[in-house]
Each structure stands twice: as C-alpha cells, then as structure tokens.
Amino acid sequence: MTPQKSTIHELTKLGHTLESKVPGVRFTPSMSWQKCTTMGAGTWKFPFLEVFTVQQTAEAVRFLRSIRPSWKISLIGGGSNLIGCDKPLPLTVFLKASPGKDFSRIDRISTKQDQASSALFECGAACSLGKIVQHVLGQGYGGASGLCGIPGSLGGAVRMNAAAQGMSVGDFVETLQILNTETGEIRRVGKDYLTWGYHDSSLPGNEMILSAGLRFSAVNIEDESQKIQLELNRRSKAPRGRSAGSIFRNPSPRNPAGKILEEVGAKGLQCGSFSVSQEHANWIINRGDTLQPDREEDFIHLLEQLTHLVLEKKGIRLVPEVQFVHSK
C-alpha cells in the first residue's frame, strides 16, 4: 500500500529538511519491505532514514525529535529477522545504521585486560557477523566460527542475541555503544547491561546499537579457517529462496521446531506467495510469485495454520522467532 499523495508530499518535504540539516543522511519517503527485508513480506511503503556515522545518527534523531516529537523511531538492520506489514504504522519512521565509515569499522582496541590469549575489537553496527569473523581471523583471533553464516547486521544480531552451533553473539560482547532514540544521547555500557536469552536480549526498542566491543580468543588460523569453511558448507545446504531463517523457536534443543513441523505434515503448505519449504519444515519461503502481492496477512495466515496444526496434533504451542514490525 503506497501512502497517499499528500502524505508522500509531506514526507518528501521532511526528507529534504532532514537531509539539509544533517548532511549525509538519506531519507526515502516510500520504501518497500521487499528491498529492506530478506523475506520481503508486507505491502505498506514506509518512511526510511539511513544514517552512516554516529554523529549523523545523534543529530538526525535530535532534529527529528525537535520537529516530530510524537513520531516513533523503529530500528531495522539487515532485515533478516523482520516481517514487514500491510497496514500503515502511523507516525513511524524506520532508522537504519547503514554501511559507512563508523558502522562498517572493525578496529582492534588495546585494553589493560588484553592478553596474548584474546583481543577486543570494536565493530560497527552494520558489519555482518561473517565479515567480523573473517577480519579477526586475519589477526589470529576467533572462536566464533559458528556465527559466521548468520545473515544481517551486528546491531540486529546483538538485539536478537543471534546464535548457532552452540554459541551466541552475547558470548563475545564486552561493551556496547548505544544511542537512545528518544533523546539522541549516546552512552557506553557493559555486557551486563543486557540480559541475554535464547535468540533474544533485553535491549529496549528505543535503544540503538551503534557498535559493540567483541572479545575473541587467539586461535590457530588453519584450524579456525577449517571450522569456518565447514560452517559455510553447512549453510550452503540451507533452503534456497527468500526467507527469514527459522520461523519458530525450538521448544527445546532435543525437540527442534523443524522436526515437529515435519511430523505434522507442514512441508509444502502455502498461502499467497509463501510456502513451507520442502527441504526444511521450519522455513517459510517467499516464492516471489509475480501475480501475488507479498502480503503480511498471507504470511500470518500460514503461520497461524502451522501453529494450530502443531497444537492440535502435538499439544505444543510454537512461538515465532521472527519479529513483526507491526508489534514492535
């Protein structure tokens, strides 16, 4: 759903003002979920603000607050865990720390605790986990090979405490640089500021990760390279097509959602553009059917169908792992 002409006009004016007050930021009045999320679900076109440096972010947030105090600022990273929406979210702008000078940095930091056995790296919010893992390996550090194939950005990975192969992002975090999207205030906090859960953290919705200090152990480069390659090979067998990775949380490590869904016959079920993958029952694929709009409504319908099926046949209530922008 494209905003009305009058709204587009107002947003375009706002964008010009923002871009002139805070040089370097990029404002798009009408952005699509197809461009900003890996699943590409949702038909509403939304106002989208990209920032490339820490200073721009603080200035843009303060300026936006001064002229639109009631607006909600929602955060988006690589969009690999997000489901967009069909219905407009009034007075909401989506803010993204995009790759650029500050948000793509990976710098080794000297600290008093620095020992030969480990090193701290300050990494910008837009870095992918793969890029970080490869970069620190080049300096002889690692231990995070299991995370190297998780898509998206470090900012989103911290928020979600992204995890794979028995390790999670929170295991490596030592400090976080955070911006409050109500005030534009920036502060640095320690790892204990957040509670780190299963594919989740306690980061409040109005706090944006700008960068994180991640500690990696010294490794044997050859051994670590092999582990990374093994993980990338494992990932290359994942279902093809647009998706958001696993749709439901695993009820327990011994009872993965994929196995439960397969047992109830979920594979191949579909609604609109979305189908349960034939290869992995906990993955929904956007088939990119050009005749069907990629409606969030269809995605939710399929999700509900799966939830009911599992509840009815197994007595287990599956909980979605993906995040819905309409409920944030």
Ligand X SMILES: Cc1cc2nc3c(=O)[nH]c(=O)nc-3n(C[C@H](O)[C@H](O)[C@H](O)COP(=O)(O)OP(=O)(O)OC[C@H]3O[C@@H](n4cnc5c(N)ncnc54)[C@H](O)[C@@H]3O)c2cc1C
> Which residue from 216, 256, 208, 195 is spatially nearest to 97, judged by alpha carbons?
208
Q: Answer yes or no whether residue 151 interacts with ligand X by CB under 6 A.
A: yes
User: Closest CB to ligand X among 56 and 80?
Assistant: 80
Q: Which of residues 222-251 bind ligand X (CB under 6 A)?
A: 238, 243-245
Specify whether the CB–CB gap between 173 and 158 falls below 8 A: yes
Please report how close the Cβ of residue 168 comes to ligand X at its closest, in angstroms. Answer: 7
**Integer Cα distance of 324 and 297 in angstroms:** 11
Question: Which of 74, 30, 23 lies closest to 52, judged by CA?
Answer: 23
Q: Tell me: does residue 45 bind ligand X (CB under 6 A).
A: no
Tokens, residue 294 = 């990629």
* Options 53, 56, 57, 81; binder of ligand X; rule CB under 6 A: 81
> Candidates 74-82, 133-141, 221-229, 265-273 — which segment interacts with ligand X by CB under 6 A?
74-82
Alpha-carbon torsion 273, 276, 280, 284, what sign? positive
Question: Does residue 153 touch ligand X according to CB under 6 A?
Answer: yes
Q: Which residue's CB is nearer to ligand X, number 136 or number 209?
A: 209
Beta strands in 40-172 (DSSP E): 46-51, 72-75, 82-83, 92-97, 106-109, 118-124, 141-142, 163-164, 167-168
Among 150, 219, 281, 302, binds ligand X (CB under 6 A): 150
Q: With binding defined as CB under 6 A, does residue 214 bind ligand X?
A: no
User: Which is nearer to ligand X, 191 or 314 (by Cβ)?
Assistant: 191
Does the protein bind ligand X through residue 152 (CB under 6 A)? yes
Contacts of 202 (CB under 8 A, 6+ apart): 194, 195
Q: In whole angstroms, what is the distance from residue 322 CA to residue 325 CA?
A: 10
145 near ligand X, judged by CB under 6 A: no
Exactly one of 49, 73, 85, 125 binds ligand X (CB under 6 A); that residue is 125
Q: Does 123 bind ligand X (CB under 6 A)?
A: no
Count CA atoms within 13 Å of residue 159 on its CB side: 28
Site string for ligand X, 168-207 (x = CB under 6 A): -------------------------------x---x----
Q: Pick the stretch among 157-165, 261-269, 299-307, 312-320 that binds ligand X (CB under 6 A).
A: 157-165
Given the complex with ligand X, which of 162 and 306 has the nearer CB atom?
A: 162
Contact 137, 111 (CB under 8 A): no
- Residue ranges in 22-166 assigned as alpha helix (H): 33-36, 54-67, 129-137, 154-160
80 lies in the binding site for ligand X (CB under 6 A): yes
Exactly one of 29, 42, 47, 79 binds ligand X (CB under 6 A); which one? 79
Strand partners, 93: 73
Minimal CB distance residue for ligand X: 156
**Which of 75, 257, 266, 306 touches ligand X (CB under 6 A)?**
75
Q: How far is CA 268 from CA 122, 142, 261, 265, 280, in A?
A: 43, 39, 11, 8, 10
Tokens linked to 82: 């997000």
Query: Which residue ranges make up the site for ligand X (CB under 6 A)?
Result: 38, 75-82, 97, 125, 150-153, 155-157, 159-160, 162-164, 199, 203, 208-209, 238, 243-245, 323
